[in-house]
Amino acid sequence: MTSFSIHGVGVSSGIAIGHAHLVSNALLEVVHYQLPKHLVEDEIQRFSDAIATVKHDLEQINQDLRKNAPAELSAFIGTHLMMLADKSLSETPKAIIRKEQCNAEWAIKLQMDEIVEQFEQIEDDYLRERKQDVIQVVERVIKVLLGHSQQLSTEQLASAIHQERKQILVAHDISPADAIQFKQHEFAAFITDVGGVTSHTAILARSLNIPSIVALQKARDLINDGELIIVDGLQGMVIVNPDKSILTEYKLRQEQWELEQQKLQRIKTTKAVSLDGIAIELLANIEVPEDVAAVKASGATGIGLYRTEFLFMNRREMPDESEQYVAYKTVAEAMNGAPVVIRTLDLGADKQMNPDTVVECANPALGLRAIRYCLAEPQIFHTQLRALLRASHFGNIKILIPMLSTLAELRQTKLLLERAKASLRKENIPFNEHIALGGMIEIPAAAINAEAFAKELDFLSIGTNDLIQYTLAIDRTDDAVAHLYNPLHPSVLKLIAMTIKAGEKLGKSVSVCGEMAGETKLTKLLIGMGLRQLSMHPSHILSVKQQVLHSQLSELNKDVRKVLALTDIEKIEPLVAKFYQT
């Protein structure tokens, strides 16, 4: 058998060696046929039954989710359940069946094609990628109609674990619900033809620590079921039918990788201090209260970013003050006095709460979102601020405001915070009168004016994901320009440096809570620039800590100054790489 390699986008590191398990693409199996008129109503009933079956399957999977499962899983299933309930998918195909006298599979595929075409017209790359949700929901329905749904019983799952532990999932795409099933099967890795760094597969793979590669284009067509393959998540490469020498080499690499992960556990309780005695605070990012368990297991010293929008998304009613209060209080108490930075609602435009009230926007990333949305909806904001303040009585809570661009927004926010405090005083409800207020620096305008923001805030937090996208006008989910998304762009580094300098000048702490914080290849650069707080996914804490322990900041500071003086990425990248060669 011929050996060959396929290259894609590595979204979760690690090495997996196993046999390919191809997931069928039901959409490719759909054929069109006419029905006699007297069978049309029976076909409509068959369609309704399939919709009901998929709904039941998704609800069952959601119910069976373990409490410590990643928050994204439940959120994704909620999205699919709402799409399934939408009339455009649950009712319109019935009208097509009646009008065309066609089979149910063909009717829902026609409707799917029309919906996907509408998504294709959306300019925003993140929203456009959500068409995959529609495709995945429709594919589940078609699988039921074709008679080969992949929903498995608990007993079937248990019996399959041993055989499938070394299998690698190969698919055109993977739905969140299927991914949960595959996780229970304990597959070694995921690889898919489509998807970007923010696709469901990528997010799930990272949260579950499973090696994963997306955007392989034709992997499912080129790989045969049962073929031996190697998945190198770090290099974004799949090797099919490796020869003995390559297989031996990768088995050694796999052993070394696993050994390194085990060794990292030894430094779990070690303080993150550089060789010359500079302490670095390593904090964790979370989405829901249940994530606190992972935070504690990682050895993080606190929570640097609690994304509260997960409380609001995939539901039709706003969480009331009591529900929010309980969630925030639970986290604060669980962290036993360690800092808990809670970001106010980052909802709007591309992250709607109720899909029935989606606001169309030509450029969602530039629209009514985050603090802009909260200031436009003061009652929603007031409810959240009251809940946050009430919870602050039970722990070390700090409030973080996202997407600030003007001082006017900040001052209006502070006014609303004072009103929330006044309402609690009036009711004799205790809270931390001196709760710290911070701002996210994720818009170039805010970075350039960071000193002015620092004067009016208690701390700053740099959101590198948006800062890079807004600075370079590049969405990293867009395959056509993904190669241009580079955190080492001199303009990005200068904006980060300006923010750090503003914090130092005014004695305000500055942290990074974006993807850059968890990237070990950038750890020495960031701490060399003067950052003393990094917040990341809990799974990255130990590998970043290892870099801190091997860093000599007095030497790094000199090298970083050279990096910041450069204006060419091609010169910056090799210089940063040298930080790790000593």
- Give the distance from CA 214 to its chain's centroid: 15
Which pLDDT belongs to residue 203? 63
Let me know if residue 424 belongs to a domain. yes
Beta-carbon count within 10 A of 33 CB: 9
Tell me the two tokens of residue 486.
């580079």
Which pLDDT belongs to residue 534? 98
**Are 337 and 473 members of one domain?**
yes
Which pLDDT belongs to residue 512? 97
The 8-class DSSP code of residue 302 comes to S
**Are 78 and 12 members of one domain?**
yes
Which pLDDT belongs to residue 350? 42
Active-site position among 185, 200, 537, 540: 200
What domain range includes position 84? 4-243
- Give the distance from CA 569 to its chain's centroid: 27
**Are 234 and 304 members of one domain?**
no
**Are 189 and 305 members of one domain?**
no
**Are 227 and 289 members of one domain?**
no
**Residue 38: HSE in the Cβ half-sphere, 13 Å Cα cutoff:** 0
3-state secondary structure 432-496: CCCCEEEEEECCHHHHHCHHHHHHHCCEEEECHHHHHHHHHCCCCCCCCCHHHCCCCCHHHHHHH
**Are 361 and 460 members of one domain?**
yes
Last residue of a domain, one of 190, 224, 243: 243
Active-site position among 361, 374, 513, 540: 513
**Are 312 and 231 members of one domain?**
no
What is the H or E stretch that residue 105 is in?
helix 104-120
Which pLDDT belongs to residue 361? 58
**Are 314 and 408 members of one domain?**
yes
Let me know if residue 165 belongs to a domain. yes
Let me know if residue 261 belongs to a domain. no
* The one-letter amino acid at 552: Q
**Are 61 and 8 members of one domain?**
yes
Let me know if residue 120 belongs to a domain. yes
CATH of the domain at 308: 3.20.20.60
Let me know if residue 254 belongs to a domain. no
**Residue 122: HSE in the Cβ half-sphere, 13 Å Cα cutoff:** 22
What is the chain's percent helix, strand, coil content, to nearest 5? 55, 15, 30
Let me know if residue 251 belongs to a domain. no
Active site residue 513: yes
- Phi/psi for 154 (5° steps) reads -60, -40
Last residue of a domain, one of 224, 243, 262: 243
As for how many domains the chain has, the answer is 2
Helix axes 490-506, 553-565, angle to 10 degrees: 130
Active site residue 7: no
Last residue of a domain, one of 204, 225, 243: 243
**Are 217 and 306 members of one domain?**
no
**Are 277 and 238 members of one domain?**
no
CATH of the domain at 187: 3.50.30.10
Which pLDDT belongs to residue 245? 94
**pLDDT tens, residue order, the chain (582 aa):** 789 999 998 888 889 999 998 876 666 567 788 899 999 999 999 999 999 999 988 888 777 665 555 555 667 677 788 888 888 899 999 999 999 999 998 999 899 888 888 877 776 665 666 677 788 788 888 888 877 555 444 333 333 434 445 788 888 877 655 555 554 556 788 898 887 665 556 666 766 677 889 889 889 889 988 899 999 998 999 999 999 999 999 999 999 988 988 899 999 999 999 999 999 999 999 888 888 988 999 999 999 999 998 788 656 688 999 999 999 999 999 999 999 999 999 875 444 454 444 455 566 678 888 999 999 999 999 999 999 999 999 999 999 999 999 999 999 999 999 999 999 999 999 999 999 999 999 999 999 999 999 999 999 999 998 899 899 998 765 656 767 888 999 999 999 999 999 999 999 999 999 889 988 999 999 999 999 999 998 888 999 999 999 999 988 999 999 999 999 999 999 999 999 875
Tell me the two tokens of residue 414.
């502070």
Let me know if residue 501 belongs to a domain. yes
Let me know if residue 215 belongs to a domain. yes
**Are 100 and 12 members of one domain?**
yes
pTM for this one? 0.70
Beta-carbon count within 10 A of 273 CB: 14
